[in-house]
Homo-oligomer: A and B are copies of this chain.
Amino acid sequence: MHEKERHRIIISAVQDRPVVTVGDLCTLTGVSEATIRRDISTLHMKQKVRRVRGGAEAITPPQFAGLAGRPFVVNETMNIAAKQAIARAAVEMCSEGDSIIINGGTTTFQMVHPLANRRMQVFTNSFPIAEHLLKHSKNTIMLSGGAIYREQNIILSPFDNDVTRNFYAKRMFMGAQGLGPIGLMEADPLLIQAEQKLIGQADELVVLVDSSKFAQRSSLVLCQLDRITTVITDEGIPDKAAAMIEAAGVNLIVAQSGSVQENEVAS
């Protein structure tokens, strides 16, 4: 077995498991411990693996624990105020007891706080949203089934999910990557897939986008403008975009991020 081959094996092995021992790699490659140690040493120099006592581990810090499943990675501190105002306006559209669908995303996640006092039926494909509502509210939570995608923080199934198909709601709330004359745009194909499974399960489609999204362009178009019932955004929306939305016959709600709205509870 050649050196390069062993290196590939070692790099591949540390991906699969948190740590690989020298002994493991010996049986895996069939060479002596001394050689494995030399390999680990050179790979450590090349920053390909991290050398630890007893073997090697992946270079990625073992802090993944906070990364996945957490609400959202250091939650885009930008626009957080606008997102919260938008989310609050979205929740205010709903009455007690309503059934709604919330598609996963950083903006829609902000809905969990105003939802804390409600008692509604919430269907979502977002693990963090379900988790938060489960722990901090009395809403009924329904979850779509499937694999949990750590990066996007959504649950998605390659199969048709009858739970999804049988759940009908008054409104579906979703975010997006961009919103333009072409329609609603998304960047991640996985998100597209998730969203398209849910669209059509609700009477109204409500889109939550902060005003920066009107400048964004993305290659993937999710649906056309006239499929949208309502757009909720913040005060920064350009006049042109507002005109475009209203021209398409879509309701436009501009959430006041600054101060007074109705009464509010901080959760």
Interface residues of A (CB under 8 A from B): 2-5, 7-8, 11, 16-21, 24, 28, 52-55, 57, 62, 64-66, 68-70, 96-97, 117, 119, 127, 130-131, 134-136, 138, 140-148, 150, 155, 157-166, 266-267
Contacts of A127 in B (CB 8 A): 130-131, 134, 143
Contact B159 A160 (CB under 8 A): no
Q: Does A138 lie within 8 Å of B2, measured CB to CB?
A: no
CB <8 Å contact, B117 and A134: no
B148 and A163 form a contact (CB under 8 A): no
Known: A131-B131, A163-B157. A143 touches B148 (CB 8 A): yes
CB distance A141 to B148 under 8 Å? yes
Q: Does B2 contact A54, Cβ atoms closer than 8 Å?
A: yes
The 13 sampled A-B contact pairs (Cβ below 8 Å) are A2-B21, A17-B266, A17-B267, A18-B138, A66-B134, A69-B131, A127-B134, A142-B147, A145-B145, A145-B161, A159-B165, A160-B162, A161-B161
* Chain B residues, Cβ within 8 Å of A142: 145-148
Quick one: copies of this chain in the complex?
A: 2
Top 9 A-B pairs, shortest CB-CB distance: A145-B145, A66-B135, A145-B163, A69-B134, A69-B135, A159-B162, A141-B148, A157-B163, A142-B147
How many Å lie between the Cα of A135 and that of B164 in the bound state? Answer: 25
Instruction: Please name 6 further chain A to chain B contacts, defined as beta carbons within 8 Å, in addition to the given A2-B21, A16-B96, A145-B157, sorted by A numbering.
Output: A20-B266, A64-B138, A66-B135, A134-B150, A145-B163, A161-B161
A106–chain B nearest beta-carbon distance, Å: 18
- In the complex, what residues of B have CB within 8 A of residue A155's CB? 143, 145
A138 to chain B: which residues have CB within 8 Å?
18, 64
- A25 CB to nearest chain B CB (Å): 10
Contact between B266 and A135 (Cβ–Cβ < 8 Å)?
Answer: no
Task: Give, as a whole number of angstroms, the nearest-CB distance from A91 to chain B.
Answer: 14
Asked if B162 and A166 sit within 8 Å, CB to CB, the answer is no
For A66, the chain B residues whose CB sits under 8 A away are 134-136
Asked if residues A3 and B143 are in contact (CB atoms below 8 Å), the reply is: no
Do A5 and B18 have beta carbons less than 8 Å apart?
Answer: yes
A150 to B135, CA, bound (A): 9
Q: Which residues from B are CB-within-8-Å of A21? A: 2, 266
